[in-house]
Amino acid sequence: MNQFRCRFKYRFALVFFMLSVFIQLKSQEQRIEITDINWAKYSTPVFALSTNLLYDATTSMNLGMEFKTGKRFTLKLPVVYNPWLFEDNKKFKFILAQPELRWWACEPFSGHYLGLNANYAFFNVGGVGTDHTKQYRYQGNLYGGGISYGYQFYLGTRWNLEASIGAGYAFLDYDVYYCESCGEFIRTEQKHYFGLTQVGITLIYIIK
């Protein structure tokens, strides 16, 4: 019985030793294969174009360009433009620029990111809103900034989908007119705003 146990221990030790050698050789082989890979073919994207589908749904034309600026950083430069005039002289015209520096938790154009942005808009809005605001036209500028959070999903070789939300501060400096197209000037107003500054469901096309 003792001889059987000794033989079993010996054979088990021999098998374990051979298995260890085999695993070590395979690991070394994989390391060599990984070293030989041309990682330039697998570099992260460096430039992309995008459009916010929520803005598109409101007929506001928009286009964003995003550049990789570091190992975990990108710079996005989006512009939104709404030139439309509706019936009864209603209007919600504006042009908005919202440059944003993004820090990615893993790598650019993939997964979670945090953003720091600045906001500027010129607007000309009239005949919309409540019964009180419909009587007037508001024309002026918006300045501000904020922070954002987003997540980018992989859709295909060159396509991603992004969900994002942001909050911050805006300073509005504008003139108030009566609602007619050439309505009489009434006064100048200034307002401070804290709250939601952006929200997006964005389709991204990777150029490079």
Give the model confidence (pLDDT) of 137-159 as tens digits. 999 999 999 999 999 999 998 99
Within this chain, do residues 59 and 90 fall inside the same structural domain, yes or no?
A: yes
Same domain, 84 and 104: yes
- Please indicate, yes or no, whether residues 26 and 51 belong to a single structural domain of this protein: no
Residues 23 and 119 in one domain: no
9 and 82 in a single domain? The answer is no
Are 88 and 153 in a shared domain?
yes
Q: Side chain identity at 14, as an amino acid letter?
A: L
Q: Are residues 135 and 117 in the same domain?
A: yes
Cβ burial 11-28 (10 Å sphere, 16+ → b, else e): eeeeeeeeeeeeeeeeee
User: Does residue 7 carry a pLDDT above 60?
Assistant: no
3-state secondary structure string, 56-94? HHCCCEEEEEEEECCCCEEEEEEEEEECCECHHHCEEEE
Residues 145 and 54 in one domain: yes
- Tokens representing residue 169 in the block: 């501060």
Q: Looking at the structure, tell me whether residues 120 and 189 fall in a common domain.
A: yes
Tell me which residue range forms the domain holding 136. Answer: 46-206
Provide the pLDDT for residue 120: 98
DSSP H or E stretch at residue 187: strand 185-206
Compute the distance between CA of residue 90 and CA of residue 181 in angstroms, rounded to an integer: 9
Cα–Cα distance between 90 and 183 in angstroms, integer?
13
With beta carbons less than 8 A apart as the criterion, state whether 207 and 49 touch. Answer: yes
pLDDT, position 143: 98
Rounded to 5 degrees, φ, ψ at 74 are -135, 160
What is the reported pLDDT for 145? 97
Look at 2 and 76; give whichever has higher pLDDT. Answer: 76
Is 72 in the same domain as 88? yes
Same domain, 32 and 53: no
> Residue 154 burial (CB < 10 Å; 0-12/13-18/19+)?
exposed
| More confident of the two residues 128 and 154 | 154
| pLDDT given for residue 35 in this prediction | 46
- Cα separation of 191 and 199, whole Å? 22
Give mean pLDDT, residues 167-190. 90
Query: Per residue in 77-101, pLDDT tens?
Result: 999 999 988 877 788 899 999 999 9
Q: Which residue has the higher pLDDT, 55 or 29?
A: 55
Q: What is the CATH number of the domain that holds 164?
A: 2.40.160.20
Of 22-26, 57-61, 108-112, 192-196, the least confident: 22-26
Closest by CA position to 44, among listed 76, 75, 71, 78: 71
Structure confidence at residue 117 as a pLDDT band (50, 70, 90): very high
- The total number of structural domains in the chain stands at 2
Clarify whether residues 62 and 25 are in a common domain.
no
Exposed, middle or buried by CB within 10 Å (0-12, 13-18, 19+), for 62? buried
Residue 130 is predicted with a pLDDT of: 73
Per-residue pLDDT band for 6 (boundaries 50, 70, 90) equals: very low
Give the span between the Cα atoms of 51 and 159, in whole angstroms.
12
